[in-house]
Amino acid sequence: MSPQEKLPATTYAVMGLLSQGPRSGYDLASYAEMSIANFWSVAKSQVYRELSRLESLGFVDATEVKQQALPDKRIYSLTKKGEAALIDWLNTPQPQPDRMRSMFLLKVFFGNLIDSDELIRMIEDHGQDARETSIRLSSIAEQLETDPNMEYVLATARLGAKVLEATADWADETIKALKKPAKRKVNKGR
Amino acid sequence: MSPQEKLPATTYAVMGLLSQGPRSGYDLASYAEMSIANFWSVAKSQVYRELSRLESLGFVDATEVKQQALPDKRIYSLTKKGEAALIDWLNTPQPQPDRMRSMFLLKVFFGNLIDSDELIRMIEDHGQDARETSIRLSSIAEQLETDPNMEYVLATARLGAKVLEATADWADETIKALKKPAKRKVNKGR
DNA sequence: ATCCTCATGTAACACGTTACATGATTAC
DNA sequence: GTAATCATGTAACGTGTTACATGAGGAT
């Protein structure tokens, strides 16, 4: 409905966090780190940039808060207009699906250039990491299951757990597959 | 071994592509799009920037090729020094595991702000996309299975297929879970 | 004839990351 | 008493994305 110009997702992420209640930039940054960071990380400095932008758009209001010991701060809250923009964005389906981005896969892809044992070791590590994080997310999910208000948060935790579990399984299978054939040595000379 | 300053992964991606044979910037860009784009996309303009950087580092050589109909071009090839740097990088295990980044999950996370039917529709779409791409990657993987030289490329295709399959399964489960409880309406006020 | 794509790339901008600043408290 | 952390943010830089340029050949 609103003929909005397109803003980056991070802007909406900040608004989303603000929709749960007013916060300072600093608080928002730490809150982001504990909540959405698993699938959308936002650096501190980005938070501040987005807040200025949002303020100039009228999507947030700020109130100065003086402090004695700590530096003064500004508490931001989402305006009606901001909330409308956020809801509008949330309702808009993405044209393109998310693209994966993995340095690890890049290394695997060019794996023929290095010693296969070394690559296998890297895949093992990657698998273990994935397994551990998957378990961590599963236990978070378990705790969330009891709270009916958290169903969407729960869903994101479950996806993370599931994807990482698949990754860990892949690592196991891949290592097996790579170990079977006659072990090839480093392909160094061109 | 080499006391290298840290370069971005994209630089090594370009070197990796060049390790398969000399190409022009344009060719590299299209080649990237057909090969590594699934897990590491590189824009045309980035390719050129990386090539200049690599040239000034002595990691690639360029030769001018005059053309009559088409614009002249420069063909780049990886030098020994470049190959060494690439191999060095490939051998270095990543300190941090890759972080996921998904706009879709961002929307799900804040899903309580919109109508649940709309969100369900988005999850359905996402799941279908994932399923389709998973199948596409599986069939690519199948073709790669016959070629013993492609084992690492195969591995990346399989991971993509597996992760996307898990995503699609998650979508199905999540939709079921969201439909069960008394359907809640839009949470618009405050 | 005009429009689109191919084949080459360059330029501008915007997002994301890392480093810097600063004073009070807590830790050792 | 020096060092790390907390609580606030700002500044600088570098990666990544989008738009611009240009001429030939193919499509309709």
CATH of the domain at A60: 1.10.10.10
User: Based on the structure, what is the number of domains in chain A?
Assistant: 2
**pLDDT exceeds cutoff 70 at A190:** no
Pair B83, B41 in one domain? yes
B40: nearest nucleotide, CA–C1' criterion:
D16
B77 and A CB contact within 8 Å: no
H helices, E strands: number in chain B: 7, 3
Q: Protein A45 CA to nucleic acid D10 C1', in Å?
A: 8
CA distance to partner chain A, nearest, from residue B69 (Å): 34
Share of chain A above pLDDT 90, in %: 84
- For residues B166 and A163, the answer to whether their CB atoms sit within 8 Å is yes
| Rounded-to-10 torsion of CA B75, B80, B81, B82 | 50
User: Does any domain span residue A161?
Assistant: yes
Q: Is the pLDDT of residue B26 over 50?
A: yes
The DSSP 8-state label assigned to residue A75 in this structure reads E
pLDDT tens track for A88-97 = 999 999 888 9
Structural domain ending residue among the three candidates B66, B91, B116: B91
Give mean pLDDT, residues B10-25: 97
Give the residue-averaged pLDDT of A152-163. Answer: 98
User: Has residue B180 got a pLDDT over 90?
Assistant: no
Average pLDDT over residues B23-29: 96
Q: Give the pLDDT score at B186.
A: 52
Residues of chain B in contact with residue A188, where contact means CB-CB under 8 angstroms, are: 87
Is residue B62 within 8 angstroms of chain A, CB to CB?
Answer: no
Q: Does residue A97 lie within any of the structural domains?
A: no
Using only C-alpha atoms, chain A has a radius of gyration, in whole angstroms, of: 22
The answer on A22 and A69 residing in a single domain is yes
**Which of A91, A115, A148 finishes a domain?**
A91
Interface test with A, best of B7, B11, B31, B102 (most A CBs within 10 A): B102
Of A91, A106, A159, the CB nearest to B40: A106
- Residues of chain B in contact with residue A177, where contact means CB-CB under 8 angstroms, are 151, 155
pLDDT digits (tens, 9 = 90+) for A22-65: 999 999 999 999 999 999 999 999 999 999 999 999 999 999 98
A2 pLDDT band, cuts 50/70/90, is: low
Length of chain B: 190
Cα gap B103→A181, rounded to integer Å:
40
Q: Are residues A82 and A123 in the same domain?
A: no
Confidence of residue B190 (pLDDT cuts 50, 70, 90): very low
pLDDT of residue A186: 53
Structural domain range at position B125:
103-179
| Residue finishing a domain among A70, A91, A112 | A91
C-alpha span between A30 and A39 (Å, rounded):
15
Q: Is A4 a domain residue?
A: no
Whether residue A152 sits in one domain with residue A132? yes
Confirm if A92 and B107 have CB atoms less than 8 A apart. Answer: no
B21 and B86 together in one domain? yes
pLDDT for A149 beyond 60? yes
Residues B54 and B115 in one domain: no
Based on the domain organization, do A81 and A128 belong to the same domain? no
pLDDT band at B188 (very low <50, low <70, confident <90, very high): very low
The confidence band for A6, taking pLDDT boundaries of 50, 70 and 90, is confident
Q: Is A156 on the interface with B (CB under 8 A)?
A: yes
Chain B contact present for A189, CB below 8 A = no
Lowest mean pLDDT among A106-115, A129-138, B71-80, B177-186: B177-186
In a domain, A152, yes or no: yes
Q: For residue B152, give the nearest of A16, A108, A159 by CB distance.
A: A108
The pLDDT of residue B65: 83
Q: Which of A39, A107, A108 minimises the CB distance to B105?
A: A39
